[in-house]
A and B are shown apart, each in its own frame.
Chain A
Amino acid sequence: MKNNVNISRRSFLQKAGKTSGFVVLAGGAVQLSSFNAWAAKKSAIDNHVAKTMLLVGKDMFPGKRFTDDLYMIAVDSLDGKALKDESVKSALVKGVAEFDKAAGGKYTEASIKKRMNVLKSMEGNNFFNTMRGEMVNVFFNNKRVWDVAGWEGAAYDKGGYYLRGFQDADWPQPSEEASPKGWWE
Chain B
Amino acid sequence: MAKKFDLNDDTVAVVIGSGAGGGTLSNELAQKGINVVCLEAGKRYTTDDFVNDEWAAFLQTAWLDKRTTSGSWRVATDFPGLPSWIVKSVGGSTLHWAGASLRFQEHEFKVKTEYGDIAGANLLDWPISLKEMEPYYDKAEDKIGVTRTHGIPGLPGNNNFKVLYDGAQKMGYKDCHTGRMGINSMPRDGRNACLQLGFCFQGCKSGAKWSAGYTEIPKAEKTGNFELRTQAHVIQITHNKSGKIDGVVYVDKDGNQQKQKARIVAVAGNSIETPRLLLMSNTSMYPDGLSNSAGQVGKNYMRHLTASVYALMDKPVNMHRGTTMAGIITDESRNDPSRGFVGGYEMETLSLGLPFMAAFLVPGTTGYGPKMGKFLDNYDHMAGMWIVGEDMPQESNRVTLNTSEKDQNGMPVPNVHFDDHENDLKMRKHAFGKGTDVYKAAGALDVFETPPYPSTHNLGTCRMSAKPRDGVCDKNGKSHDIANLFISDGSQFTTGAAENPTLTIVSLAIRQAEHIAKEMAKGTI
A145 and B368 CA atoms in complex are apart in Å by 17
Q: Judging by beta carbons under 8 Å apart, are B52 and A156 in contact?
A: yes
CB distance from A151 to the nearest CB of B (A): 4
Closest-by-CB residue of B relative to A131 is B368
Contact with A60, one of B158, B205, B368, B442 (Cβ below 8 angstroms): B368
Contact with A183, one of B51, B186, B205, B316 (Cβ below 8 angstroms): B186
Interface segment, one of A19-27, A29-37, A44-52, A163-171: A163-171
B153 at the interface (CB under 8 A from A): yes
Contact with B196, one of A64, A157, A166, A178 (Cβ below 8 angstroms): A166
**With a CB–CB cut-off of 8 A, which chain A residues contact B353?**
151, 153
A65 and B376 CA atoms in complex are apart in Å by 10
Contact with A166, one of B51, B159, B379 (Cβ below 8 angstroms): B159
**With a CB–CB cut-off of 8 A, which chain B residues contact A89?**
none
Q: Which of A154-185 contact B (CB under 8 A)?
A: 154-157, 159-162, 164-174, 177-183, 185
Q: Judging by beta carbons under 8 Å apart, are A61 and B354 in contact?
A: no
**Interface digits, B83-119 against A, CB 8 Å rule (1 contact, 0 not)?**
0000000000000000000000000000000000000
Q: Which of A116-158 contact B (CB under 8 A)?
A: 116, 119, 123-124, 128-129, 132, 135-137, 139-141, 145-146, 148-157
A63 and B165 CA atoms in complex are apart in Å by 29
B327 at the interface (CB under 8 A from A): yes
B155 at the interface (CB under 8 A from A): yes
Q: Judging by beta carbons under 8 Å apart, are B365 and A179 in contact?
A: no
**With a CB–CB cut-off of 8 A, which chain A residues contact B163?**
169, 171
Contact with A171, one of B322, B370, B372, B442 (Cβ below 8 angstroms): B442
Q: Which of A97-125 contact B (CB under 8 A)?
A: 116, 119, 123-124
Q: Judging by beta carbons under 8 Å apart, are B166 and A171 in contact?
A: yes
Given A156-B205, A160-B196, A162-B195, A179 and B318 touching (CB < 8 A)? no
Q: Judging by beta carbons under 8 Å apart, are B165 and A174 in contact?
A: yes
Q: Judging by beta carbons under 8 Å apart, are A61 and B372 in contact?
A: yes
A62 at the interface (CB under 8 A from B): yes
Contact with A128, one of B54, B154, B365 (Cβ below 8 angstroms): B365
Given A60-B368, A61-B376, A154-B53, A161 and B321 touching (CB < 8 A)? yes
**With a CB–CB cut-off of 8 A, which chain A residues contact B159?**
165-169, 171
A66 at the interface (CB under 8 A from B): yes
A90 and B359 CA atoms in complex are apart in Å by 26
Closest-by-CB residue of B relative to A169 is B159
**With a CB–CB cut-off of 8 A, which chain B residues contact A60?**
368-369, 373
**With a CB–CB cut-off of 8 A, which chain B residues contact A179?**
154-157, 161-162, 165, 177-178, 327
A35 and B54 CA atoms in complex are apart in Å by 35
**With a CB–CB cut-off of 8 A, which chain A residues contact B138?**
none
Chain B interface, number of residues (Cβ within 8 angstroms): 62
Given A174-B161, A178-B177, A149 and B380 touching (CB < 8 A)? yes
Q: Judging by beta carbons under 8 Å apart, are B355 and A173 in contact?
A: no
**With a CB–CB cut-off of 8 A, which chain A residues contact B157?**
167, 174, 178-179
B241 at the interface (CB under 8 A from A): no
Q: Judging by beta carbons under 8 Å apart, are A166 and B354 in contact?
A: no
**With a CB–CB cut-off of 8 A, which chain B residues contact A135?**
358, 368
Contact with B198, one of A149, A161, A180, A185 (Cβ below 8 angstroms): A161
B1 at the interface (CB under 8 A from A): no
Q: Which of B365-394 contact A (CB under 8 A)?
A: 365-370, 372-374, 376-381
**With a CB–CB cut-off of 8 A, which chain B residues contact A146?**
354
B121 at the interface (CB under 8 A from A): no
Contact with B376, one of A149, A154, A159 (Cβ below 8 angstroms): A149
A126 and B320 CA atoms in complex are apart in Å by 33
In the A-B complex, the 10 residue pairs with the smallest Cβ-Cβ separation, listed nearest first, are A63-B377, A150-B380, A160-B195, A179-B157, A154-B52, A140-B358, A169-B159, A166-B322, A151-B354, A161-B321
Q: A123-B365, A160-B195, A174-B157 are in contact. List 5 more A-B contacts (CB 8 A).
A: A132-B367, A141-B54, A157-B52, A166-B196, A171-B315
